[in-house]
Structure 1
């Protein structure tokens, strides 16, 4: 699975290359092992996110690069490390579990790691503002891939406390039977005990683990002996039903602080609560090399309290110090946390003068996003053929315009046409000009053709809101009209600050949003694809919004997160909604005029006329 767990348990080790095998090469050079820094290992998510990232990288032999490789541009010397991602060896990676998100990102910034995996969205707490702020502060880093990882909580006890209860129990009881069992080991010397995991079957989360062997009956026995259960805020919320059930039977349930690392805190409390009356003697025979241990313990340990902790299963099952009592302690399906794979991925528009204009920056990022949507060369073949046809139509348009202009000038100046061009009359020249203009317009549309994406793209735009920056309401309205999934996130609290905090516009483009051609011009958008229009509105310089792209990540099958909007077309929904609003407004206004003005006036007029007739 991953290199950081190999020493603890061979079940998590991958098959390494033999010395006789040739190492993987890239451009006739030995591939460098991918260095991956990640966070969240204390909660179990980091293990799974890194595992899924490596599985995809090994399957595809590369990692998305946010369209960087398709630009064919040279970067400055300090960005030389931002090269192709298929030059790394993902079979034998170097993983670096770090404590904080900032440490993981700075490892990439300082070229200590090639990739950083940090969480950016949780279904319960929402967007991770720390990750977004950290990525926003490092202009060279960019999110290139999103990974989904989930965990579930289990109930576990520390082995040191459990052995106190087992060794001090009354002979003949269920607890006393546990001490006669041999402790399991996954070491290489344990080849004849039947505990060696099967390499063909692979890793199974429910398979027997190292440590004290217990079965389901033993789990129930230990569960009934638990006196205190500790749970963090997230565990208390997700495991509320079972924790309430334990409260009902008299178990003391206590909530720990958010910053407390649960498995280390339980180990500390268990070590402080073990019995101090134990006498342990070790005898070593220098002749035979045999070592014997003798432990003497009274019955006082039976009065001690047994602590349990609600831990992430990925953490508890990797430590032989914990005995898992309940493998699934949650009351529902586990939640998925989304991680962002960040790498050194420069944005040329921040350094090159050629991209200072709005159109140049729009074309740059539209091309990069289109490359993410169509990673394979064959995906863009239809659009390429359309652009080639557009070149031919453009050449024909130039010829028609030249002939038409020449014919019109000759007819207006009464010049004699050369032999072979006598057929050009004033009417013919006018028709040639008209056809030339039509062909030029058709050529422009064909040359602007874009292929439908083979997958969606998730783009995160960072907008500054300080000084004279305009609102992003125009972009939101544009995305809403075309039914593009999006949401707005403010990445910092700006109360009592000198300037408003920046915000992130999270957009999920569908494959159809990249399509543009003659038919899309008539039925979707007249000028460019939907993606092109959104990027152009975002990078409009006169808005003074200082926008950058934090992430440009492909959307795999089933990864779409944001809710789908219903598009508003000017010729359909706009007209129908306007008619409905106009009808309702007219009805209200006309009824108000009728009841408050016309009818009273008619009544007064009728009374006056009747009075005059009677008089």
Structure 2
């Protein structure tokens, strides 16, 4: 500068800076977005995520948590299908590489029903679908389970927890009628002096852009109010609408509103909270208001003038109990109380579903029980991350060495049997110990071979648990799943049985779902596990073999195979029931108690009366 002072790079802000920020003409240009990452030399495509629960709100939160995890992990679990090496037939949709999607710029697709979200994945208009499958208050979502079970090539690959915080909000159409018709100088009249935020490029850089993001805490267009304004508007509410879920979860606060004279009206479950109630609020606005628009073609300035009488002060102001996620995304609602729940709400669990075929349903090489068990055991091992540990690797090496030793001993034993029979020369075995006979060598070879099999079957512990949902048919000649439940119960595996539909008035019994949560230690197997837990393979391997037994004719399909952290397990833990400990002790206790009850009853009702009769006869009649 001329006076020698340093040139300032800060732009001076005028007194109308707040208007410049809201006007797109004064907004700065949006910075170019960073380049997308590549997958096989091509830019990654945004992940298309379809979800339900738009009218309840928690679908937004579940989608955001799913995307956060995908951004952190750089991919999404695929149910272990890439580790099987199986080739998908041309007639079926193959599972895509989940790392090829760009999760930083995903495309959300809010849909109305679960069936629409699942069909979006099936018709390849979406890459993933989030559907609710469990709520602590309502239990399992039977519609979701039936829909997933009826579609052939889709599979649940992840689970997400989300909830819907309820809030109290009012519609801006009614609120502005009260503000514009209020007495000058009152608190309501001061609200109309606030600058209403508008959609513009300046807001877009801060996240306030339609379609940019569905984050709940993003800047929103609408009337800005503070806590004192919230209390002012809350005291003016005349009627509150709440659905059945809101009436149950916000009972104490709704009772408090009733106590001060506010009318609380419960709406039906079928009424959509935000759209139907917004239509109801707009129908009560003052129709005599006149709005004039003035446009200056020279400056491009647009001005709106609204004239309204004082008759709106006699109208009612409706309050709506809405999901916070929905009210925050709607510019037509003003939140009065952001936390309207009586207590922390229960978390709903969502399944992340994608096209992920089960090759064992149509490949001939997986038709046998062992082959299908091996196929799904590989997939579940991949989900659990039970890679080969150092201990398991050493045991496998020992297993190969023991196998070679067993083969040599078996050959020696066979040679010895031939020498005894005179077929071969007996002097060829003179270097063996005199105490080792041919039969002893064969027996020792068999024992070493069993130990070698255990060593070679060693499996490392998983890094995370796996939750699997099996669907069993109950029609026709299908056997009961009591054998599977008994196996899981004996080894203390978390599980729950759910019937997918009602049997009353149906032509055939409905299918059922067995929900199982395998802990990381259920995948481990070695010499100690063989001695103290299960002799033939890991617990997961044994459970899968029980599930996929073909001769049971149960028509088993897998609905979901998702990972979970051990501390996030949903189902209660069962105590293991061992045949050599709990079974024996409880059988002994039951036998002793049964015999005591039985013999005490015999002694009291048979032996004692018979003795008294004999004593009377002996003393009186026989003069004993």
Please, what TM-score do these two structures have when normalized by structure 1? 0.91
Q: In the alignment, does 2:306 pair up with 1:334?
A: no
Report the CA distance between 1:17 and its aligned residue: 9.6
Q: In the alignment, does 2:574 pair up with 1:561?
A: no
What is residue 466 of structure 2 aligned with on the other side? 457
Moved more, 363-372 or 329-338: 363-372
1-structure distance, mates of 2:283, 2:546: 62
What is residue 124 of structure 2 aligned with on the other side? 111
What is residue 161 of structure 2 aligned with on the other side? 148
Report the CA distance between 1:383 and its aligned residue: 2.8
Deviations for 1:91-135, whole angstroms, at most 9, x for unmatched residues?
A: 222222222111111111122221111111111111111111111
Q: Given the alignment, which residue of 331, 334, 354 partners 1:343?
A: 354
Report the CA distance between 1:33 and its aligned residue: 2.2
Q: Paired residues, what number? A: 592
Deviations for 1:25-84, whole angstroms, at most 9, x for unmatched residues?
A: 223333232221111122111111111111111111111111111101221124464132
Q: Secondary structure at the match of 1:575?
A: helix
What is residue 368 of structure 1 aligned with on the other side? 379
Q: Check whether the contact 2:64–2:215 (CA below 8 A) recurs between aligned residues.
A: no
What is residue 66 of structure 1 aligned with on the other side? 79
Structure 2: gaps (5+ residues): 1-23, 25-29
Q: Secondary structure at the match of 2:189?
A: helix
Q: Secondary structure at the match of 2:169?
A: strand
Q: Given the alignment, which residue of 266, 289, 303 partners 1:278?
A: 289
Q: Given the alignment, which residue of 550, 555, 565 partners 1:546?
A: 555
What is residue 322 of structure 2 aligned with on the other side? 311
What is residue 409 of structure 2 aligned with on the other side? 400
Report the CA distance between 1:548 and its aligned residue: 0.8
Q: In the alignment, does 2:152 pair up with 1:139?
A: yes
Q: Check whether the contact 1:69–1:83 (CA below 8 A) recurs between aligned residues.
A: no
Q: Secondary structure at the match of 1:273?
A: coil
Q: How does 1:123-134 map to 2 (within 5 A)?
A: 123-134=136-147
Q: Given the alignment, which residue of 435, 439, 450 partners 2:444?
A: 435
Q: Given the alignment, which residue of 348, 364, 368 partners 1:357?
A: 368
Q: Secondary structure at the match of 1:276?
A: coil
What is residue 160 of structure 1 aligned with on the other side? 173
2-structure distance, mates of 1:339, 1:259: 22
Q: Check whether the contact 2:88–2:94 (CA below 8 A) recurs between aligned residues.
A: no
Report the RMSD for the aligned CA atoms in angstroms: 2.4
CA 1:285–1:26: 2 relative to 1, 3 Å: closer
Structure 1: gaps (5+ residues): 1-9, 11-15
What is residue 515 of structure 1 aligned with on the other side? 524
CA 1:196–1:92: 2 relative to 1, 3 Å: closer
Deviations for 1:319-367, whole angstroms, at most 9, x for unmatched residues?
A: 1211101111110002101000011111111111111111111111112
Q: Given the alignment, which residue of 26, 33, 41 partners 2:39?
A: 26
Report the CA distance between 1:203 and its aligned residue: 11
Report the CA distance between 1:604 and its aligned residue: 1.9
CA 1:33–1:184: 2 relative to 1, 3 Å: closer
CA 1:601–1:127: 2 relative to 1, 3 Å: same
Report the CA distance between 1:419 and its aligned residue: 4.9
1-structure distance, mates of 2:42, 2:304: 54
Moved more, 257-266 or 500-509: 257-266
Deviations for 1:263-291, whole angstroms, at most 9, x for unmatched residues?
A: 11121011111001111111122222222
Q: Given the alignment, which residue of 592, 610, 618 partners 1:601?
A: 610
2-structure distance, mates of 1:78, 1:25: 29
Q: Check whether the contact 1:154–1:313 (CA below 8 A) recurs between aligned residues.
A: yes
Q: In the alignment, does 2:336 pair up with 1:321?
A: no
Q: Check whether the contact 1:186–1:196 (CA below 8 A) recurs between aligned residues.
A: no
What is residue 468 of structure 1 aligned with on the other side? 477
Please, what TM-score do these two structures have when normalized by structure 2? 0.90
CA 1:67–1:568: 2 relative to 1, 3 Å: same
2-structure distance, mates of 1:518, 1:173: 82
Q: In the alignment, does 2:306 pair up with 1:295?
A: yes
Report the CA distance between 1:433 and its aligned residue: 1.1
CA 1:396–1:196: 2 relative to 1, 3 Å: closer
Q: Following TM superposition, where does structure 1 have runs of at least 4 consecutive aligned residues deviating by more than 6 angstroms?
A: 202-208
Deviations for 1:349-396, whole angstroms, at most 9, x for unmatched residues?
A: 111111111111111111211221116x4x545334423322221122
What is residue 230 of structure 2 aligned with on the other side? 219
Q: Secondary structure at the match of 1:42?
A: coil
2-structure distance, mates of 1:85, 1:207: 28
2-structure distance, mates of 1:250, 1:281: 38
Q: How does 1:167-206 map to 2 (within 5 A)?
A: 167-185=180-198, 187-189=200-202
1-structure distance, mates of 2:103, 2:337: 35
Q: Secondary structure at the match of 1:281?
A: strand
Q: Check whether the contact 2:368–2:550 (CA below 8 A) recurs between aligned residues.
A: yes
Q: Secondary structure at the match of 1:40?
A: coil
